[in-house]
Structure 1
Amino acid sequence: MSQTTLGIIGGGQLGSMLAIAAKKLNVETIVYCDDQDAPAQNFCTKFISANYDNKEKIIEFVNLVDFVTYEFENIPFDTLNEINKLKPVLPKPSVNRLIQHRLAEKDFVNNLNIRTTRYASIEKKSEIDSLKDLLPGILKTTTLGYDGKGQYPINSVEEFNSLNINLSKGYILEKLVKLKQEISIIITRFANNKYEVYEPIENKHEDQILKFSKIPAEINKKIYDQSKDWAMTIAEELKYVGTLCVEFFIDRNDNLYVNEVAPRVHNSGHLTINAYNISQFENHVRAVCGLEQIPLKKISNAKMINLIGDQISHYRMLSKFNENEFFFDYLKKEIKEKRKMGHLTTLV
């Protein structure tokens, strides 16, 4: 049987971990990225660096692979759609187009009778007067933006009016939830009603960037079951293939809300590498390449800390770790403030 080659678009830490997982399965990887310093080149079989609209390079990439996936959602839909005419892109490009647009994503989730925070589209400053009941809220760009980029906490009409932004580019105003906890569900869908679902992961953010994750999450059985059920409903409705993350808010009355859907492997699932028999990355490769689905088994409880910016320096100097600690250095060349540089998982 000939060896499978998986094309990965995007060369950050998620692309790196997908390439590592693929190697374990004897799947070759070719990473295509617009950043010539992308860290995934340290882990893949072949690396191609070019812009995402470079048709010649895209064709070269497509001719070398059997399947294509991506590590982040802000890849031009047209690029994914053109590739999909030649080789299977999984998850399919239409999923990416939906999730790229926060308003469309929220509408999609609500139409499944799944609760989200209240929200409204906002395109003109004058509209704020009719949307006062959504304050305090968070104003987000409808497209692009992650790790706090393109997001503005708004407490009052005055605060909103003082913002110097062009609203015509498309924004969504979301009412703030009286937050008790944040959790996420990582789910891999292989085919119709064929899933592997990881247990809910409890998350804490600092400066709108994920800082800590842990399993088990300190939640009741109702939320445990409901979060898994909603994640399966979303994955099934999307006819999703691969690993998906659904992020949730829990309010002070123990109501569950879907915050966002990430159509890819996810930062909060890094602890699955050490805490489960099959990581979220390996399951993604298995699903998109049509490989065997293996039942999940949890090996250990775990906690994970993201190393942001210069926090990586201390860990790079350590020569050894405890046997229950696993240090991951993303090998990014430049240390930048608010940049995810690595993580440490501890089995507990």
Structure 2
Amino acid sequence: MLRAYGLYTHIRANEIRSRVLVAGLFGLVLVLAFGIALVVRGTGAHLPAGMPPVLGSYLRAAAADMLWLGPLASAAAFLWLLIAYRFHQGLIDRTVGARAVSRAEAPDLHRLLENLCIARGLPMPALHVADDPALNAFATGLNPRQYAITVTTGLMQALDSREMEAVLAHELTHIRNDDVRTMMIAVVIAGIFAFAAELLFRGAFQGRGESRRDKGGAMPAVLIGAALIVTVWLLSQLIRFGLSRSREYVADAGAVELTKNPDAMITALLKIAGRGELARAPSGVMELCVDNPRSGFFDLFATHPSIDDRIAALTRYAGGHAPLPA
């Protein structure tokens, strides 16, 4: 897990890798725009005057479209991010049924989180509670003024104070390591790809009859454009999953470093395992949670390591003691 270089070196390497991956997501926006241009050109069988209807002509025409489509796509991505920056917390709260709670409403939670923030020297994030029987928690926010930690009512009822402290420390580590901002940007941009791909394929298949009447390179252009769109979508998903899986180990280690209690993190994970499904939460929110039981096809698209793997890492590298099987 962290044996070779230690926690802080691992965090730094993870931060650099994440920034490169997020920058790559913006690069994929341009690839998506080129795929869109090819599909639109091919389905309409439309070329500038004088160009023969061959594949090379469609490729050149799509490349010319990038002179205006590329900046437009980049601007749209930034606009989408600005909308998410302004409204993401309200949208998430409404989706999962969460609300901010005051110190008077949840004194124990506030006390635990405040002590952790003092120990780490961090400003205290807002504390939200979701009315849900699932056992889970997640952090959100794109800057220090927006950071919030949300826990479910089910988690509050199931965990003791030591275990709750470990979960809060886990989420606070995500905030400290800039995981929350990185993951939310990645989720928002990946959502752009999914939305654009759905719209394009609906339009493309409605217009496929016209492109088939063309005897030149229209259909190959459509197929290449569609392949680019699908590839971009798949890469964006893999980037999201890669960001999530590696960071959960680091957040677990950070929680242990902060609480000095690996066993509390282990028992909290054991209680959460298999009981973390937030029925109303979209996949993007579940990726931010302590555990995401939506593992996907043969774990290929799992956003979190398994609970067993995380407990094994805490036992091997953090001095934890896994309980004996019943």
Larger helix fraction of residues? 2
Report the TM-score when normalising by structure 1.
0.27
Q: Which has the higher strand share?
A: 1
Q: Bigger radius of gyration, 1 or 2?
A: 2
Identify the structure with bigger relative contact order (alpha carbons < 8 Å, sequence gap 6+). 2
TM, length-normalised to structure 2: 0.28
